[in-house]
């Protein structure tokens, strides 16, 4: 195992200590005061790059906070860590792997060497193979076993092999080929598969089995059920598999074992983490939906943000600023969550996608050198698209007792202009962020003629922080930029906490835990009762009632 450069524990770093003192001075200061004392604040605390505008003025910070957070980033080795990732160093030390999602969107002219080999030519070879295949399917040249055109594409995968593809399909539906139907099956719950195929015909249906390892229980179970369903609908001829199944994997051996010709396999590499893989061959469903050219535009968007992250000074660096603000609230204000609030219906799965990206990456309790962290790590990410959330959980953000930093994401233009809809949507973004920051005082409430007894209920304390992210409209390129913005935001947080943001031992545990119990649920003889009494009882109850 490669070992990490030893860093001074986070809470002993000089900038951390300075931030602690500074926190005592600033944490009671209201955003109203910060704005009153600085007429230029709303324009000054902004940054814009690659067409993405960030207003971070409604955060509980001043120039000193920013200076100290940036000093913390420097002391935590963020600059060197960024370079190490882009260079292809094996920064995922617990799996001894490079972390090179940035190579997936690097232009052909770049060179990134891993274990003595430049990985860029292979990346472009796979992209070209995907493009050829996508063009054949989209044009109808690729025929199913009975000679029919493919009309339905079903992606089977879970976790990183599902959430990115689903999110990207939903986000870019506007650009999709509308005569192709896309479905996504992930859960081992048979209802997921049954519902996905219930109105489809096998002779027009193509399955993409997306699994980095090709051993994941859920995906393999669904893939085998898909194989049976497909063959049953195609007269049982095994040869049909070649026309109706393709694999996306790093494991050629298991792909062949399943019966998929490796000719129909799209590869990627161990240096692509599942949750960082939507821009690898795992994005084949996206490419089938929006076409190779649009897919390359997604990659160009990712790359533009990569270059920004790697080359821009921290004080103007969008992912760095977002990451540092999250550390500020998580570790000093003890905020436990971050709300992601996209005001764009097509981004309805973006918060779910970010949940995996952020929480699987930074849900860690030990540092790279194996010692227990000395400060809180990964906050809980959650959210829903606006304005829907406003009619439910925003209540708690406005008037509850917890501090919930919010990221509002809005667009200057809509993809579906319809009367006044878009102005109304955006008016809500600005109004919500304003209300959260400035609130409404008892005096203001009284001045509105509110009955005395109701005044406390109608007071909004304000001082609730938020970022507002604005960009032109939701294009393939912009989606790439937004995802990369959060990937590097996560990286920044992980660098400060000095954790391995790229392993996932908790997820690996889940992959093995159920296997033993499955045997006990299916066995004809009574299990030996060797679990705790609760688990033994639950197993018994299920066996009696199933
Ligand atoms: C992602 C995780 C996890 C993984 C799934 C699917 O970073 O490792 O979500 O993507 O468990 O794994 P396979 O692609 O190997 O089936």
Give 286-351 as a DSSP string: HHHHH-HHHHHHHHHHHHHHHHHHHHS-GGG-HHHHHHHHHHHHHHTS---EEEEEES-GGGTTHH
Q: Are strands 117-118 and 113-114 parallel, antiparallel or unpaired?
A: antiparallel
98: CB partners within 8 A, 6+ apart? 88, 89, 90, 91, 92, 114, 271
Residue 30: helix, strand or coil by DSSP? Answer: coil
Atom 5 of ligand 1, residue of closest alpha carbon: 159
End-to-end distance of the chain based on CA atoms, in angstroms? 46
Q: Contact at 8 Å (CB) between 7 and 81? A: no
Tokens at 513, concatenated: 């835990």
Q: Contact at 8 Å (CB) between 386 and 432? A: yes
CB count in 10 Å sphere of residue 237: 10
Would you say the pTM of this structure is higher than 0.95? Answer: yes
Q: Contact at 8 Å (CB) between 105 and 488? A: no
Q: Out of 239, 372, 391, 457, pick the active-site residue.
A: 391
Cα-to-centroid distance, 465 and ligand 1 (Å): 33
526: CB partners within 8 A, 6+ apart? 543
Please give the chain's pLDDT, 546 residues, in tens.
555 567 899 999 999 999 999 999 999 999 999 999 999 999 999 999 999 999 999 999 999 999 999 999 999 999 999 999 999 999 999 999 999 999 999 999 999 999 999 999 999 999 999 999 999 999 999 999 999 999 999 999 999 999 999 999 999 999 999 999 999 999 999 999 999 999 999 999 999 999 999 999 999 999 999 999 999 999 999 999 999 999 999 999 999 999 999 999 999 999 999 999 999 999 999 999 999 999 999 999 999 999 999 999 999 999 999 999 999 999 999 999 999 999 999 999 999 999 999 999 999 999 999 999 999 999 999 999 999 999 999 999 999 999 999 999 999 999 999 999 999 999 999 999 999 999 999 999 999 999 999 999 999 999 999 999 999 999 999 999 999 999 999 999 999 999 999 999 998 888 788 888 999 999 999 999 999 999 999 999 999 999
Tokens at 432, concatenated: 């919500």
Cα-to-centroid distance, 6 and ligand 1 (Å): 29
Test site for ligand 1: of 95, 158, 184, 253, most ligand atoms within 8 A of the Cβ: 158
Instruction: Tell me if residue 511 is catalytic.
Output: yes
Cα-to-centroid distance, 511 and ligand 1 (Å): 10
User: Which atom of ligand 1 lies nearest, measured to the CA of 157?
Assistant: 16
Instruction: Tell me if residue 531 is catalytic.
Output: no
């Amino acid at each position: 195992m490669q070992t990490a450069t030893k860093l001074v524990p986070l809470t002993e770093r000089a900038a951390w200590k300075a931030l602690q003192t500074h926190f005592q001075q600033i944490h009671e200061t209201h955003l109203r005061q910060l704005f009153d004392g600085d007429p230029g604040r709303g324009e000054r605390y902004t940054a814009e790059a690659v067409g993405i505008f960030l207003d971070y003025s409604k955060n509980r910070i001043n120039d000193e906070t920013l200076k100290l957070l940036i000093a913390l980033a420097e002391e935590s080795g963020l600059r060197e860590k960024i370079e190490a990732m882009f260079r292809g160093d094996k920064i995922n030390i617990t799996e001894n792997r490079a972390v090179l999602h940035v190579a997936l969107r690097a232009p052909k002219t770049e060179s990134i060497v891993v274990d003595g080999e430049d990985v860029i030519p292979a990346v472009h070879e796979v992209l070209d193979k995907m493009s050829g295949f996508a063009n054949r399917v989209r044009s109808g040249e690729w025929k199913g076993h009975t000679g029919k055109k493919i009309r339905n594409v079903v992606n089977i995968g879970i976790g990183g092999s599902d959430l990115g593809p689903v999110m990207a399909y939903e986000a870019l539906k506007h650009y999709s080929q509308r005569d192709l139907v896309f479905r996504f099956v992930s859960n081992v719950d048979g209802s997921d598969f049954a519902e996905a195929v219930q109105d489809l015909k096998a002779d027009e249906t193509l399955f993409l089995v997306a699994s980095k390892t090709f051993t994941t229980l859920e995906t393999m179970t669904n893939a085998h059920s898909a194989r049976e369903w497909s063959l049953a609908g195609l007269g049982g001829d095994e040869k049909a598999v070649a026309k109706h199944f393709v694999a996306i994997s790093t494991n050629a051996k298991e792909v062949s074992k399943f019966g998929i010709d490796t000719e129909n396999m799209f590869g990627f590499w161990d240096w692509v983490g599942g949750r960082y893989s939507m821009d690898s061959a795992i994005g084949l469903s996206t490419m089938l939906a929006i076409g190779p050219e649009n897919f390359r535009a997604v990659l160009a968007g990712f790359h533009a943000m990569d270059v920004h992250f790697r080359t821009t000074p921290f004080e103007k660096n969008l992912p760095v600023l977002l990451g540092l603000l999250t550390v500020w609230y998580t570790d000093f204000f003890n905020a436990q969550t971050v709300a992601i609030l996209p005001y764009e219906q097509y981004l309805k799965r973006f918060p779910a996608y970010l949940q995996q990206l952020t929480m699987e990456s930074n849900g860690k309790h030990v540092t790279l050198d194996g010692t227990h962290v000395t400060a809180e790590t990964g906050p809980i990410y959650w959210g829903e698209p606006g304005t829907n959330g406003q009619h439910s959980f925003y209540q708690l953000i406005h008037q509850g007792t917890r501090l919930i930093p919010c990221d509002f994401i809005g667009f200057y233009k809509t993809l579906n202009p319809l009367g006044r809809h878009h102005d109304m949507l955006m008016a809500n973004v600005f109004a919500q962020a304003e209300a959260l920051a400035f609130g409404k005082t008892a005096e203001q409430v009284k001045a509105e003629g509110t009955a005395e007894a109701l005044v406390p209920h109608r007071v909004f304390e304000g001082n609730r922080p938020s970022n507002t992210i604005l960009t032109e409209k939701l294009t393939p390129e912009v989606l790439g930029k937004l995802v990369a913005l959060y990937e590097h935001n996560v990286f920044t947080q992980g660098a400060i906490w000095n954790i391995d943001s790229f392993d996932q031992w908790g997820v690996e545990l889940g992959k093995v835990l159920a296997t033993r119990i499955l045997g006990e649920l299916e066995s004809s003889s009574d299990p030996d009762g060797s679990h705790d009494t609760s688990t033994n009882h639950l197993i018994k109850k299920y066996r009696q009632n199933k």
